[in-house]
Amino acid sequence: MKTLRLILGDQLSTDISSLQDIDKHSDIVLMAEVREEATYVKHHKKKIAFLFSAMRHFAKQLNSDGINVLYIDYEHPENQGSLFEQIKYFCQSENVARIVVTKPGEYRLLDDMQQWQARLNIDVELREDNRFLSTPEDFALWAKGRKQLRMEYFYREMRQRWHILMDGKDPVGGKWNYDAANRQSLPDNITIPSPTRFDPDALTKNVITLVETHFSDHFGSLQDFHFAVTRKQALTVLAAFIDERLAQFGDYQDAMANNKPWLFHSHISFYLNCGLLTPKEVINKAQEAYDNHQAPLNAVEGFIRQVLGWREYVRGLYWYKMPEYKTQNYLNATRSLPDFFWDTNTKMQCLKQCLSDTYNNAYAHHIQRLMVIGNFALLAGLAPDEVNNWYLLVYADAYEWVELPNVTGMILFADGGVLASKPYAASGNYIHKMSDYCQHCHYNVKEKNGSQACPFNYLYWDFLIRNQDKLGRNPRLGMPYKTLTKMTADKQRLIQEDAEAFFTKLHNHEEV
C-alpha cells in the first residue's frame, strides 16, 4: 500500500511538511497541471508559464533525488482537469493507503480538500504549511481580545520571537520602524541595476508554447519571459538583490518612474510564494547584510518589515477572517472595472504605465499596486469582487491568502478598517511627488477642476464627500474633512459634476 503525496504549484519546496517522512521506495508524489487551477481566475499568461515551468523543473529535481514523481502535464492524455479528479483517477488504479498534502494557500481549495477523505474513502492527512514563520493559530492567539489588529504590533512580536534585528529586548537602532526614512522620490541621475534575468531553457520554451496554445484569451504578454524557474536561479535573484539593490531599497521603496518597473525592489515574491525561496533565508540574508555593513538600517528594517511583518500578518488575517472576509464591502462600492484595466488605454499616464507594466511583466511594485491602481479603485468605488478577481489574476505572485487582504483591506477599505486605520486615498499630488508620471500626462496635476484637471484630484474629494457618513468621524481623516467643511458649496458642486462626468464616460466606454 502506497502513500500518495500531492504537491501543488505553489508548494515547490523540498522540505515542505508533506514530503518530510517520505519513503522513497514506496511513496509517490503527484503533481498535475490542471485546467481548474489554471482557469478558476484567468491568470496572466506569464504567471501560468512561470508556474508550469517551475513545477516541471521541481519534479525533475525530486526525480533526481530518487523520489517517484507522477507528473501529469496539461496535455497528458490522462489529465482529469482538476486536482480532486486527478487523485480519484489515480486511486482507482493504484493501491493507495493514504494521501498526504500540505494545506493549500486558498480557502476554496482547503474547503474542497476537507471533503476528500469522505469522497474517496481514503485517509487524507492535511498538514500545516511549515514554510511560514507563524501559523494561523499563532495569529488567532495574538488577535484574541484585541480591539485593533494592527500589523505594527504583530511585527514587533515577530521580531522578538525570531530575534531579528534585536539588541537584547530592544530593537536595533532604538526604533522598531524606519518607515519615515523610506519615502524619497528618484533623483534624475540615479543608476538602477538591471533585474536578474534568465533566458528560457528548452523546457520553459515548451511551456510558453503550451500557454500560447491553451490560454491565448488570458490577460498579459508572454514576450520576454525571464523569471527564475528553479531554486538555484531564485537564489541568484536573491543574492543580486542583497548585493546590488538592498542598500537603496529603503530610500526608494515608495518611488515610481516611467519605464522603470523594477527599481530597487527585490522581485522575489514569485519565488517566496511558490516555495523556491523561504522567508527565513531571505530575512537572514538581509540581516547579514546589515551586520556586514553592506546596507543601512532603514533599508534592512524596511525590507524585513515587509517579509516578517506584512507577509506573515496578511496570511494570518486571511485565515482568521475567512470566509466572511471575501464578501466585505464596507463602502458599498459597486462600479464595474473600467475597460482600461484590461486594455491599458487611458490618458492618465500613471495608470497607463502601471497597467502596462502589469500587462507586460505580471509584476508591478508595491506603490504602483497601492497608490496608483489601488488608489483609483478606491476613489472610483470599484466593486471589491471585481477588483479582487483582477488582482488575483494579473500578478505572478498572487494567491488569495496574500492578494485578498491587500485588496479588500489595504486598498479598498472594504473591511471597514480591520487592516488599515484609514483608507489609502490620495489626490494627484501624491503621485506627482513620488514619480515622473505627471510630466508625461494628458492631464494637469495642478488643475483641480475642468476637462484638463487630473482626475485623481476631483475623484479624491468626491470620494470623501460620497463616503462622509462612513468616514467623516475617522480621526485620521480629520484634516481633509476639516478642509472639506471650509470648501464653498459651489466648489463642492464642481467637484461632484466633474466626477459624475468622468463616471459617465467610464460607463459609456469612452477613453478617459
Residues interacting with ligand FAD, by CB under 6 A? 265-269, 272-273, 303, 306-307, 310-311, 314, 365-366, 369-370, 374, 391, 395, 397-398, 402-403, 406-407, 410-411
Residue 362 or 441: the one with the smaller Cβ distance to ligand SF4 is 441
Q: Which of 399, 430, 456, 502 binds ligand DLZ (CB under 6 A)?
A: 399
Rounded CA Rg of the chain: 24
The strand pairing partners of 125, in sequence order, are: 100
43 touches, from ligand FAD, ligand SF4, ligand DLZ, none (C-beta below 5 to 8 Å by class): ligand DLZ
Q: Which of 39, 64, 57, 79 is nearest to 207 (CA)?
A: 57
Q: Which of 53, 104, 313, 437 binds ligand DLZ (CB under 6 A)?
A: 104
418 scored as a contact of ligand DLZ (CB under 6 A): no
308 scored as a contact of ligand SF4 (CB under 6 A): no
Crossing angle of helices 136-143 and 151-162, rounded to 10°: 120
Residues 335-364 that bind ligand SF4 (CB under 6 A): 348-350
Which 3-state string (H, E, C) describes 332-392?
Answer: CCCECCCCHHHHCCCCCHHHHHHHHHHHHHCCCCHHHHHHHHHHHHHHCCECHHHHHHHHH
**Measured between alpha carbons, how far is 203 from 8 in angstroms, rounded to an integer?**
19
**Measured between alpha carbons, how far is 300 from 404 in angstroms, rounded to an integer?**
26
The sign of the torsion formed by the CA atoms of 374, 378, 381, 384 equals positive
Residue 6 or 471: the one with the smaller Cβ distance to ligand DLZ is 6
Minimum gap (Å) between residue 340 Cβ and ligand SF4: 12
Q: Which of 51, 2, 17 is nearest to 31 (CA)?
A: 51
443 scored as a contact of ligand SF4 (CB under 6 A): yes
String marking each residue 390-429 x if it binds ligand SF4 according to CB under 6 A: --------------------------------------x-
395 close to 47: Cβ distance less than 8 angstroms: yes
**Measured between alpha carbons, how far is 229 from 58 in angstroms, rounded to an integer?**
9
Residue 242 or 371: the one with the smaller Cβ distance to ligand SF4 is 371
9 touches, from ligand DLZ, ligand FAD, ligand SF4, none (C-beta below 5 to 8 Å by class): ligand DLZ
Cell numbers for 71: 507528473
Residue 78 or 511: the one with the smaller Cβ distance to ligand SF4 is 511
Minimum gap (Å) between residue 139 Cβ and ligand DLZ: 18
Q: What own/partner pairs with CB < 8 Å and gap ≥ 24 does 203-208 have?
A: 203/53, 203/56, 203/57, 204/49, 204/53, 204/229, 207/49, 207/52, 207/53, 207/56, 208/49
- The interface region with ligand SF4, picked from 15-23, 451-459, 468-476, 504-512 by CB under 6 A, is 451-459
72 scored as a contact of ligand DLZ (CB under 6 A): no
Residue 29 or 419: the one with the smaller Cβ distance to ligand FAD is 419
Which 3-state string (H, E, C) describes 118-148?
Answer: HHHCCEEEEECCCCCCCCHHHHHHHHCCCCC
Residues 38-57 that bind ligand DLZ (CB under 6 A): 38, 43, 48, 51
- Angle made by CA atoms 172, 302, 379, in degrees to the nearest 5: 140
442 close to 349: Cβ distance less than 8 angstroms: yes
Q: Which of 313, 456, 458, 463 binds ligand SF4 (CB under 6 A)?
A: 456
Minimum gap (Å) between residue 179 Cβ and ligand FAD: 12
445 scored as a contact of ligand SF4 (CB under 6 A): yes
403 scored as a contact of ligand DLZ (CB under 6 A): no
Residue 55 or 304: the one with the smaller Cβ distance to ligand DLZ is 55
Minimum gap (Å) between residue 255 Cβ and ligand DLZ: 30
Report the residue count for the chain: 512
438 scored as a contact of ligand SF4 (CB under 6 A): yes
Residue 336 or 452: the one with the smaller Cβ distance to ligand SF4 is 452
**Measured between alpha carbons, how far is 508 from 487 in angstroms, rounded to an integer?**
31
**Which residues of the chain form contacts with ligand DLZ (CB under 6 A)?**
8-10, 32-34, 37-38, 43, 48, 51, 104-106, 109, 399
